[in-house]
Structure 1
Amino acid sequence: MRRNLSGFLLLTLSIGALQTSQAQQKKSKQKQTSLTQYVDPYIGTGLHGHVFLGANVPFGAVQLGPTNISQGWDWCSGYHISDSTIVGFQHTHLSGTGIGDLGDISLMPTTGPIKTMKGSIKNMQNGYVSAFSHQQETVRPGYYAVLLKRYNIGVRLTATQRVGFHEYTFPKSSQSNIIIDLQEGIAWDAPVKTSVHQINDSTIAGYRFSKGWANDQRVFFTAVFSKPIKTFAIYDSTMVKASKTYEGKKVKGVISFGTQAGEKVLVKVGISPVSEANAMANIKLELPGWNFNNTVSAADAAWNKELQKVQLQTSSETNKRIFYTAFYHTMIAPSIFNDNNGDYRGTDKKVYLSPGFTNLTTFSLWDTYRAANPLYTILQPERVNDMVNSMLAIYKQQGKLPVWHLMGNETNTMVGYSAVPIVADAFLKGFSGFDKKLAYEAVKASAMQNASGLKFVKERGYIPADSLIESVAMGLEYSLADWSIAQMAKKLGNAADYQYFSKRGKNYQNYFDKQTHFMRGRLSESTWRSPFSPFESRHRKDDYTEGNGWQYSWLVPQDVEGLIALQGGEKSFINKLDSLFTVKGSLGEEGSPDISGLIGQYAHGNEPSHHITYLYAYAGQPWKTAEKVRYILKNFYTDKTDGIIGNEDVGQMSAWYIFSSLGLYPVNPANGTYVFGSPLFDEAIIKLPGNKQMHFITKNNGDKNIYIQRITLNGKNYTKSYISHANLMQGGKLIFEMGDKPNLNWGKLPQNRPYSEKH
C-alpha cells in the first residue's frame, strides 16, 4: 500500500511538475509573443484619417516614410492609400492632422539621366517621381519597404530615434543616383533657406529652413553613405553649381555612381534641430554600425516593449488589430525634439544645452487633452514629466503655454489654452518631476492674458460674438481650463485664486440660452446673435470650432451637474441628450469637413463630442452610455484603410478607442476619474509602475451582452459607475459582469454617479 501510494505520489508530482512546466512555458511564450504583428499601419491611410505611414520608433524625432506626389487635404501626412506615386522618402511627417507640413530632407533613388524636379501627375516622365504598387509594399512598426517600378529599385527603411536608415537595392546601371531634395515638403511647407555640402567621400551635410504651418522650422542633417560617392553635384532650380558647397532657396544634391545588379547601397541620415555636427553625433551614438536587419529588429523591439503594456484576451483578432494599431498611433507624437546629448532649439530660436529633460514637440493639445494625455498618465507615466517640462520651457520662452506647438514654433491653431488641463492633470495626479511653482505660474499667466478674447472673459465673463469668430467654442474651452486652474489653486491652498478661477469655470453659463437650451453666440447681456440654428456649421467662420450648437452644448465636462441644472434637471437633460443622437438636420453649405461619424448630430469624427456618450452616467443612466459606446466601437473603428472615421488627430481618436474598449473614459480630463462604459475584451491587463497591474475581466461578454450588471474590485462589490486614477494605479482585479438587458439600478443612486468636483 505504501509502495503504491509512493508511486501515486511520484506520478502526481511528475504530472504536476509537467503541468507547471507547460504552464510556465505557455506563460513565457505569451510574454514573448510580439504584439507588433497586430499593428496595421494602413488603418487610417484611407478616408480622412491622415495617418503617417513609414518607419519610426515610439515618440521618435524621425518619421521616415514615402510621400506621394498628390497635394490636398487628404495628403496632410504626405501619403494616402488611393495614391500610387512616390516623390521621395522624407524624414519628418505629421500623423492625423487637419493641416499639412514637414516632409523634411527628402531622398529619392533613381537611375539614368539626372532629373532634379519631382514632375507632375500629368507628366511623370518630366521628373523623378515613380509609380509603385501596394502589392509590392510592406509596412509594419519600425519598417517600410517598396519597389519603385520606374527604376526597379527596392527600398527598405527603418529608424532609430533621430536617424533614418535607408537601404536601396539597385539594378545594374552605369548611372545610379540618390537625390537629396531640400526643396520638397508637404502641403503648406515651403523652403526659405537650404544648403548642402560634401564633407568627404561618404558624407553629405546641410540644412533645410522652411516656412509653413510652422513659421520658422529648422532641420539640420548629415547623411553617411555605405558606398563611396563617385560624383556629387549641387542644383538650385535649373542652375548647376560645380562647387562642393552651396546655399540657396531650393537646393538639391545629387550623388551618382555605377551599380551592379542587386547591389545594396545604405544611407544613414541623422537629423537635428541644432546643427550638422549634432546630426552626425546622433548617428554615431544611435546607429554606429551598418546592420540594417538588426536595426529593424531593434525598432520592432522598441514598439513591442510599449505595446506589451496592455495584454488582451479576446476571440476577435480584428479587435486586437484595431486596438494595437490605435495604441501604436498614440505613440507617434508628441515627438522628440532634441539631440542625443539633450540640446534643442527653443521657441525663441535659442539653443538650450542639456536642459535635464527630453524636449518634445508636435503638441496637438486641443485634441489630445481630452483622452490621449490622460492615457499617457497611465501607460506612459515615465514620459509625462518630459511633456510637462517641455510645455513649461515653451512658457518661459514665449510667455504662455503652448497652444499647438510644432517643431519649435507656436502655430496658435485651435481655440483655448489646452495645455492647462494637461499640466493641471499631471499636477493633481501627483507627478513630481517638474517645478510645481512654475507650473502654476504658467497656467495662471496663460489665463490672464488679454489676447484671444481673454480681455472680455476677465471683464464680462463671456466673449461677444461680434468681436471674434469661434467665440462660443473659445469661451467653453476657457471655462474648462479655468476650472482646472482652480483645482490646482485649491491643492496649493490658494483660496483667493480658487474662488476666482472657479467663478471663471462657470462662465459656460453665459453662453447658454435658456429659451433654446443651446450654447450660442452672445452679443451683450441681453442680446444673442441672430438668426440662430443649432445645425449650422460654417467652417471656422461662426461661433463654433468645427462644430455646431448641438455638439457644443455639451462641452462642460468640468461641471456636468451644473449643465444638468441648466437643462432643467435630470429628466430634461436625458431627453435633450437622447435627442442629440436622433435629430436630423443639415450642417449648412459650408459644413466643416471635420464633422464626421455622425449619429444624429453627435459627431465622433471630431473631438468636442468625445466625452458626450458618457454623460448619461452623471444622470444615473449609464446603460445608455453602454449602447452608444458599443455602437461607436463597432461601426466607427475597423481594421480597414478607412477604419478611422475622421482625422486621427495625433492620437486622440485612437485614445478614445483604447479607453472605451477597456471599459472607461476620462470625461473630465483633469479630475482624475474614469467613467465606466462597456468593456469590449474578455480580459485586459494593464502594466503599471512598481510592478503593479490592473486586471480587467469581463464575464458573460458578447456582442449582445453590452450592459454592466455588476462590478467587483478585488473581490468586493463595487457600486460606483466610475473609478479614480488613484484606485486604478493601485492595481488589482476589476470584474465586469455583463448582460443583454440594462440593469436599471446599477449606477442609478446619486452617491454612485461620477462627479465633477469633490467637496
Structure 2
Amino acid sequence: MISNSVFKLSVLALGTVALVACSNSEKKQIAAESYVDWVDPLIGSGGHGHVFVGASIPHGMIQLGPNNNKKGWDWCSGYHDSDSTIIGFAHTHLSGTGIADLGDILLMPAVSVIDSAGYLPSSAYVSTFLKQEELVTPGFYQVKLHPSGVNVELTAGERVGMHRYVYPSDKKAQVVVDLENSAQSLMLREGTISSELQLINDSTVVGVRSSDEWAMNHTVYFRSIFSKSILNSRLYAKEKGKKMVLDFGILQEPLLVKTAVSYVSSEGALANLEAEHRTFDEVHEDAVELWNDALSKIQVEVKDDNVKKMFYTALYHTMISPSVFQDVDGSYKGADGKVYQTSDFVPYTIFSLWDTYRAVHPLYTLIDTRNADYVNSLLAIYDQQKSLPIWHLAANETSCMVGVHSIPVIVDACLKGFSGIDVERAYQAVKSIREMNDNGLDFVRNQEYIPADKISWSVARALEYAIDDYAVAQLAKHLGKEDDYQLFMKRSKYYAHYFDSDSGFMRGKLADGSWRLPFDPSHSLHMEDDYVEGNAWQYTWLVPHDPQGLVKLFGGKKQFVEKLDSLFIVSSELNEGASIDITGMIGQYAHGNEPSHHILYLYPYVGERAKAAKLLHQVYDSFYKATPDGLIGNEDCGQMSAWYIFSAMGFYPVNPVDGTFVFGSPLLDRVTMNLNNGKKFEIIAHNNSQRNIYIKSIKLNGKPYDKFYITYEDIMNGGVLEFEIVDILN
C-alpha cells in the first residue's frame, strides 16, 4: 500500500486534492475508501511481467507513460523496472503482452537539445531518473528527469493525455515530439513506415504515425496543444520517422500539454481534443474517481496488507484493456481498413483472447457492464475481416497463438443473457469455425486430428480448437439447433486422438497415425514442436471443457490422480531452447503461462480438494509478490491477475462457458462483489488464516451446499457464500 505520507506529497505536488466531492453519499463513501491507495502499478514491471506503467483510466484509449531507452523482450510495454532511462512519454501502450507494439506519439521535455541541421539523435534528449523520484498511482505518473531537472506529471482522460512539465527557471524549456521511436517490435518488421508533423500555430502541433510492427497496418493521428507560445521550432526528418523540437524560452510557470489521439483521422483527434475541457487537476481527480469506482466492484477484507495490495493491483491490471477504439463522434477504424460510425455499441480493441478467455472475460461477466460492447466489437471484427478474431490489435488481426478464442468469449456472454447482443448473429459467427481451413482446421474437419508432420503446434492447436467447438455446441443447444449441437460436441472430443494411454500424455500424431518420435514430455521448442510455450506435461491437462472425459482416458480416478500428482513432483528442468514463457515451476506445472492456469482446479473434480488447496497456497506465496518482479510470467492483458482475483475469492472458472466456478482455497476473509446486475454477493471465509487453508464445509444463503462448484446463476442472484476453513481435513 502507498503510504499516506507519500500519497499526500503527490497531492501537494499537484496542488489539488486527489478525490473530489461526489454527487451522492454512496460515491462519497467509495471515494473515502480510496481503493487506489491499495494499487501499486509497479508490481509486474520487473521480471517478465511486462505491465504498463503510467496514467490511464479504466479501459481508456490513452495509456500515457514513459518509454525506456533500452529495448528487448522484457521491454514489451516500453518500460522495465531494471531501467533508469526515459526517451519520451508515449500515449499508447500494451500491458503484459509477450510481443511489443504501440508506444506511439512520444513527447519529451528537454532543456539542451542539440540544434543541428542534420538528424536529431535520441541521445540528445534521453534522460535518466531515480526510482525514489518516481511516483505511480492509478491515473497518475510523476518523475524528475536528469540531468535536465524537469519535473514531469502525467494524467489521462478517455481519449486525451495530459502533461505538466516544470522546468528549471534558468534554462530554455523545450519539447521533442518524436514520431520515430516506439515500443520496440520483436517481429522484425519495418517499424515506422511513414510520419508527418506540422506546426499549425504558435501553440498547436498535429501529426500522424504509421507503423508495421506486430500490428502490420497501424496508424495513429494526434493533436497537441501547449499552454505557452512556441517561440521557435525545427523539424527533423530521416527516412520515415520525423521529429520536431519546440522551444518555449525561459518559463517561470509549468508548461501544460494536452494531446488527443485518434485511429481514424486528424479531424477525429481535433474532435477528441475539443471534447476535453478540463484542467490537468480536474482530469486527474476524475481519473482517481473512475478508478475508485471501478475497483470498488469487489470490496475485500483480509488481515495481510500485502494480499490486499496484490488483489487490488491485480484488479487494476484487468481494467487497462480492452481499450476504447472509437472517437467522440462515434467513428472508428474497422478491421478492413474502412471507417465506420456507430452509436449502437462502443468498439474496443486489444483482445488478447488466447489468454483472457480463461478468466478475464468470465470475471467481466460478473462485474463489468461493458460485456455486450466487447462481444459486439468481436462480431463487428468478424463482419469486417470475414473471419473470427484471434488476437486483435488496433484494427489488425495478428493471428497470434492458437485456437479461435473469440468463440468462448462470445458464447459465454450469450449464454449468460447479456442484453444488446444478437444471439443468432453471434451463432452464425462462431459456427464458422467449421468451415475454416487455416492452421490445421481443415484437418480437424476432414480427418479429426491435425498431423504433427503437416502443421506445427498440432497438439496445442487441436486441444484449443476442442474447447472452441464445445462452446459452439453449447450455443447450438441453447438455440435448439440439435444437429449442430451433436456435430460440435463430437468435434469437442477430438482431443482424445492425441492421448497416448501407454505414456499418459497428449502427443503429436503423424499423418500415418503413428506417434511422433522421439518423445520427451519435458521437451519444448519455440517453433518446431507439437506444443506452443509449453510441453506435454502442461498440455496433457488442457481439457477444461471435459475433465471427466479426461479422467476416463487415464483409466479412472486413481490413475488420473497419480498422474496429476506426478506433475508437481517431477524435475522442473527444461531443455536448452525451451520457451522463455515456461516459468513459475512446481515440478512441470508452469504457472507463468496460461495453459497451466486451470490445472490445480482439476483436483476437485476427482474429490481431492485438499491437494488443490495446498498447491494453491504454494502458488500464492511463491508467484504473487507485492514487488516489481512479483509476477512470475507475462501479465497478458489481465489473465495472470484474473487467476489471482478468482483464486483469492475462493473459486475459478475451469470451463470458460458452462457458468461454473470450482472451489479452491480462499485468501480473503470477506468479499463483497458489486455485481453488474446491481445485486451484491458476499463471500465469508470463517477462521481463515495462513495455517487454516482447507474448506471443511460450505453454506449458500445459510443452507449447506455440497457441490464442488458454484454457478454463475447462484452468484448473480446475490446472497452470501460461507466457507468454514480448517487446518486439517479429517
TM-score, shorter chain, exceeding 0.5:
yes
Aligned-partner residue type, residue 270 of structure 2: M
Contact 2:195 2:210 survives alignment (8 Å): yes
| Count of residues in correspondence between the two structures | 700
Partner residue in 1 for 2:359: 371
Structure 2 CA distance for aligned equivalents of residues 131 and 575 of structure 1: 54
SS at 2:477 equivalent: helix
The offset of 1:115, in angstroms, is 5.9
Structure 2 CA distance for aligned equivalents of residues 715 and 565 of structure 1: 36
Partner residue in 2 for 1:660: 647
Aligned-partner residue type, residue 55 of structure 1: A
Q: Is 1:305 equivalent to 2:302 in the alignment?
A: no
Aligned-partner residue type, residue 82 of structure 1: S
Partner residue in 2 for 1:32: 32
Of 449, 452, 465, 1:462 maps to: 449
Of 293, 296, 319, 2:307 maps to: 319
Partner residue in 2 for 1:100: 100
Structure 1 CA distance for aligned equivalents of residues 574 and 227 of structure 2: 56
Give 1:157-168 correspondences, 5 Å limit: 157-168=154-165
SS at 2:548 equivalent: helix
Partner residue in 1 for 2:125: 128
Structure 2 CA distance for aligned equivalents of residues 482 and 87 of structure 1: 46
Q: Is 1:186 equivalent to 2:183 in the alignment?
A: yes
Partner residue in 2 for 1:271: 261
CA offset digits 1:700-751 (Å, max 9, x no partner):
11111100011111111111110000111111011100100125xxxxxxxx
Q: Is 1:555 equivalent to 2:542 in the alignment?
A: yes
Q: Is 1:426 equivalent to 2:398 in the alignment?
A: no
Give 1:665-704 correspondences, 5 Å limit: 665-704=652-691
Contact 1:332 1:650 survives alignment (8 Å): yes
CA offset digits 1:419-471 (Å, max 9, x no partner):
11111111111113122111111111134211111110001111000111100
Structure 2 CA distance for aligned equivalents of residues 645 and 468 of structure 1: 30
SS at 2:543 equivalent: coil
Relative to 1, partners in 2 of residues 1:530 and 1:40: Cα closer, same or farther, differing over 3 Å?
Answer: same
CA offset digits 1:624-646 (Å, max 9, x no partner):
11111121112210101111010
Of 518, 524, 549, 1:537 maps to: 524
Q: Is 1:644 equivalent to 2:631 in the alignment?
A: yes
Structure 1 CA distance for aligned equivalents of residues 83 and 615 of structure 2: 34
SS at 2:637 equivalent: coil
Contact 1:118 1:128 survives alignment (8 Å): no
Contact 2:88 2:107 survives alignment (8 Å): yes
Contact 2:453 2:511 survives alignment (8 Å): no
Structure 2 CA distance for aligned equivalents of residues 580 and 53 of structure 1: 35
Structure 1 CA distance for aligned equivalents of residues 343 and 578 of structure 2: 45
Q: TM-score of the superposition, structure 1-length normalised?
A: 0.90
CA offset digits 1:128-166 (Å, max 9, x no partner):
101111111111000001111121111000000110000
Structure 1 residue ranges (4+ consecutive) displaced by more than 3 angstroms after TM superposition? 25-31, 113-120
The offset of 1:276, in angstroms, is 1.3
Contact 1:115 1:128 survives alignment (8 Å): no
Partner residue in 2 for 1:222: 223
Partner residue in 2 for 1:138: 135
CA offset digits 1:576-632 (Å, max 9, x no partner):
000001111532111110000000000000000000000011111111111111211
Q: Is 1:75 equivalent to 2:75 in the alignment?
A: yes
Aligned-partner residue type, residue 273 of structure 1: Y
The offset of 1:524, in angstroms, is 3.3
Contact 2:30 2:292 survives alignment (8 Å): no
The offset of 1:355, in angstroms, is 4.7
Aligned-partner residue type, residue 273 of structure 2: I
Partner residue in 2 for 1:170: 167
Of 623, 629, 636, 2:616 maps to: 629
SS at 1:64 equivalent: strand
SS at 2:56 equivalent: coil
Structure 1 CA distance for aligned equivalents of residues 115 and 489 of structure 2: 63
Deviating more after overlay: 431-440 vs 461-470: 431-440
Structure 1 CA distance for aligned equivalents of residues 26 and 495 of structure 2: 55
Give 1:381-420 correspondences, 5 Å limit: 382-420=369-407
Deviating more after overlay: 415-424 vs 248-257: 248-257
Which protein has the larger Cα radius of gyration, Structure 1 or Structure 2? Answer: 1
Q: Is 1:288 equivalent to 2:277 in the alignment?
A: yes
Q: Is 1:236 equivalent to 2:252 in the alignment?
A: no
Aligned-partner residue type, residue 145 of structure 1: Q
SS at 2:438 equivalent: coil
The offset of 1:401, in angstroms, is 1.3
Deviating more after overlay: 173-182 vs 328-337: 173-182
CA offset digits 1:399-419 (Å, max 9, x no partner):
111111111100011011011
Aligned-partner residue type, residue 327 of structure 1: L
Structure 2 CA distance for aligned equivalents of residues 739 and 692 of structure 1: 30
Q: TM-score of the superposition, structure 2-length normalised?
A: 0.94
Percent sequence identity is 51
The offset of 1:175, in angstroms, is 3.2
Deviating more after overlay: 107-116 vs 35-44: 107-116
Aligned-partner residue type, residue 179 of structure 1: V
Partner residue in 1 for 2:334: 346
Aligned-partner residue type, residue 267 of structure 1: V
Give 1:716-731 correspondences, 5 Å limit: 716-731=703-718
Structure 2 CA distance for aligned equivalents of residues 154 and 517 of structure 1: 60
Contact 1:105 1:208 survives alignment (8 Å): yes
Contact 2:31 2:289 survives alignment (8 Å): no
Give 1:239-258 correspondences, 5 Å limit: 249-258=240-249
CA offset digits 1:484-510 (Å, max 9, x no partner):
100110111111101110010000001
Relative to 1, partners in 2 of residues 1:27 and 1:435: Cα closer, same or farther, differing over 3 Å?
Answer: closer
Structure 2 CA distance for aligned equivalents of residues 30 and 712 of structure 1: 29
Aligned-partner residue type, residue 355 of structure 2: D
Structure 2 CA distance for aligned equivalents of residues 551 and 520 of structure 1: 12
Structure 1 runs not aligned, ≥5 long: 1-24, 121-125, 238-247, 744-759
Contact 1:336 1:361 survives alignment (8 Å): yes
The offset of 1:236, in angstroms, is 0.1
Relative to 1, partners in 2 of residues 1:655 and 1:173: Cα closer, same or farther, differing over 3 Å?
Answer: same
Structure 2 CA distance for aligned equivalents of residues 621 and 118 of structure 1: 64
Structure 2 CA distance for aligned equivalents of residues 655 and 162 of structure 1: 26
Structure 2 runs not aligned, ≥5 long: 1-24
Contact 1:173 1:258 survives alignment (8 Å): no
Aligned-partner residue type, residue 180 of structure 2: Q
Q: Is 1:596 equivalent to 2:587 in the alignment?
A: no
